[in-house]
Each structure stands twice: as structure tokens, then as C-alpha cells.
Amino acid sequence: MPPKTAVTTDSSVRPAAWWQRASTGKTIAAAIALSVLIFVLIAGLDLLTVWHPMMVGVMVAMDGAVAALCGALLLRIVRDAQGRHRMLMERFTMIGNLNHHIRNALESIQLTAHSTQNQELIDQIQNAVSRIQRALREIVPEPGQNTGP
């Protein structure tokens, strides 16, 4: 089965990793399993230092490695969240620009429609413009417009 990818039109998107596709239950189970594994390793090394006092250096090195791993994981999580936020902001800006251009084009269409004397054509154009404006209001409300209930 081919790997699942995020839904997008961008062809440069990498295939989603298993943990991105995993259910919440599987994600929690993997986190618990990894936590237990790390605990067993660290506790085992700590016990070695009790039986072999010369292993204190190994324990300190292992504690440092675990701390570095936790820091690297936190950095990765934060960087991924920043990347998603940046992409969302770019998308919102693009949607806002698109909304602006569509509304301007509709104004031109309405003005052009009134240059004709055919009332039926004017009414058809006005109805089409109204439907487009209604769709835009529902999808991309104008700034300052209250969208709440």
C-alpha cells in the first residue's frame, strides 16, 4: 500500500510518517512504551552504580544523553509547530488576497452590467454576483464582520 500523504496540491510534501497517521490510542501507547523503555534503561544504569560504584561516570553520561534527547525532541516539536503556523499564516494571507481580488472583480462586473439596457441580463448578473458574494461571506468573512451566533 502506498504511503499516505497530507491533502495538498503541493507536490513537495513528504509522505506522512506512521506517527502522523496513527490514532490517538496508538500514539499514547507508543509514548508510554518509549517512556517505560527509557525508564528501564536509566533505572538499570542507576542500579549498576549501586553495585559498581565505578559506573557513576556511565550513569552521568547516560543521564546527559537522555537530557539531550529530550531537548532534541522538544526542539523538533516546536519547530514543526512553527512551520505549521507559518504555512497557515501564508494560506490565510493568500485567501485574504484572493477574497479582495474576487470582490473587486465583482464590482467591475456589476458596473459593466448596468451599462446595458437589457434588464433581464442585469438581473441575471446581479443574482450571480449576489450568490458569489454570499459564498464569500460564508467562507471568508469581511474584516470586522461578526461571524459568531
To the nearest 10 degrees (0 to 180), the angle between helices 56-113 and 24-51 is 160
Q: Is residue 3 part of a domain?
A: no
At residue 142, the pLDDT reads 65
At residue 143, the pLDDT reads 63
**In order along the chain (149 residues), what is the average pLDDT of each group of 10 residues?**
45 62 79 84 78 76 83 87 90 88 86 82 87 84 58
At residue 70, the pLDDT reads 83
Q: Is residue 102 part of a domain?
A: yes
Residue 91 in contact with residue 85, Cβ under 8 Å? no
At residue 9, the pLDDT reads 47
Q: Is residue 1 part of a domain?
A: no
Q: Is residue 61 part of a domain?
A: yes
Domain count, the chain: 1
At residue 3, the pLDDT reads 43
Sign of the alpha-carbon dihedral angle for 100, 102, 106, 108: positive
At residue 87, the pLDDT reads 92
Q: Is residue 59 part of a domain?
A: yes
Q: Is residue 98 part of a domain?
A: yes
> What element of type H or E holds 17?
none
Q: Residue 121 belongs to what domain range? A: 20-139
